[in-house]
């Protein structure tokens, strides 16, 4: 069965496909000929996830889901949060975002942070939200080359290494997105969607 995932992010696509296993084969808007940017202009992760899924549903008239993720850092009062993608500027530069985060945290001893992921499922009749969260801390410097985004500087609680030093399976088993997808999968098992 196919399921439309409203994303242009290939890292997320492969993570989520791995999490869904054989239950659904993911299809993206680009696979359906829609290559435009997906808007995310809301003030919350929930708002952005719903905006992305609703936008793509409106364009393609196919049930779909979208996720929005934020890194929330205690010492920065929850920043970068919903602004995580554009923390260092509108060009969404991942390396510059990490540089800025490390700079902002210089001199802070409290480096507690969490990733929060909200998934919105939209099918024209209902809108359902699922949330996943993982707590940890921001490292003093980058460590590891796997994953993407802020992974090299995030160490989840209970682990000695960053997300970027874990295998994809290990990260997925404890990550914010992994937990949110688990809830989505449980929902879809109860209430399967009409397929593409
Ligand atoms: P969005 O959900 O695509 O808006 O992601 C917001 C920001 O968080 C982007 O800069 C992503 O690179 C980053 N991000 C999202 N998910 C993860 C993750 O699993 N690990 C590290 N960074 C992430």
Every domain of the chain and the residues it spans: 2-190
| Residue 68 annotated as catalytic | yes
Q: Give 194's pLDDT tier (boundaries 50, 70, 90).
A: low
In this structure, whether the domain defined by 2-190 belongs to CATH 3.90.950.10 is answered with yes
pLDDT in tens, 155-176: 999 999 999 999 999 999 999 9
- Global pTM value: 0.94
pLDDT in tens, 62-77: 999 999 999 999 999 9
b/e sequence 11-23, b meaning 16+ C-beta within 10 Å = ebbebbeebbeee
Q: Report the Cα 7 to chain-centroid distance in Å.
A: 10
**What is d(CA 16, CA 181) in angstroms, rounded to the nearest whole number?**
7
pLDDT in tens, 90-110: 888 999 999 999 999 999 999
Contact 53, 61 (CB under 8 A): no
Considering 31, 37, 68, 135, which one is annotated as catalytic?
Answer: 68
Q: Is 13 helix (H, G, I), strand (E, B) or coil?
A: helix
Q: Tell how far the Cα of 119 is from the centroid of ligand 1, in angstroms.
A: 13
Q: Tell how far the Cα of 186 is from the centroid of ligand 1, in angstroms.
A: 23
């Amino acid at each position: 069965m196919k399921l439309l995932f409203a994303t242009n992010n290939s890292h997320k696509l492969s993570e989520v496909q791995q999490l869904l296993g054989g239950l659904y084969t993911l299809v993206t808007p680009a696979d359906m000929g829609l290559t435009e940017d997906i808007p995310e202009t809301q003030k919350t992760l929930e708002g952005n996830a719903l905006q992305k899924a609703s936008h793509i549903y409106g364009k393609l008239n196919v049930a779909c889901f979208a996720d929005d993720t934020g890194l929330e850092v205690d010492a920065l009062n929850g920043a970068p949060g919903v602004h995580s993608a554009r923390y260092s500027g509108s060009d969404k530069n991942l390396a510059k975002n990490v540089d800025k985060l490390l700079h902002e945290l210089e001199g802070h001893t409290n480096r507690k942070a969490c990733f929060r992921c909200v998934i919105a499922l939209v099918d024209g009749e209902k809108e359902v939200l699922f949330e996943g969260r993982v707590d940890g801390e921001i490292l003093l410097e980058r460590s590891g080359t796997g994953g993407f985004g802020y992974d090299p500087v995030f160490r989840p609680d209970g682990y000695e290494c960053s997300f970027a030093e874990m295998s994809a399976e290990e990260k997925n088993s404890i990550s914010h997105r992994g937990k949110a997808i688990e809830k989505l999968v449980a929902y879809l098992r109860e209430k399967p969607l009409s397929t593409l």
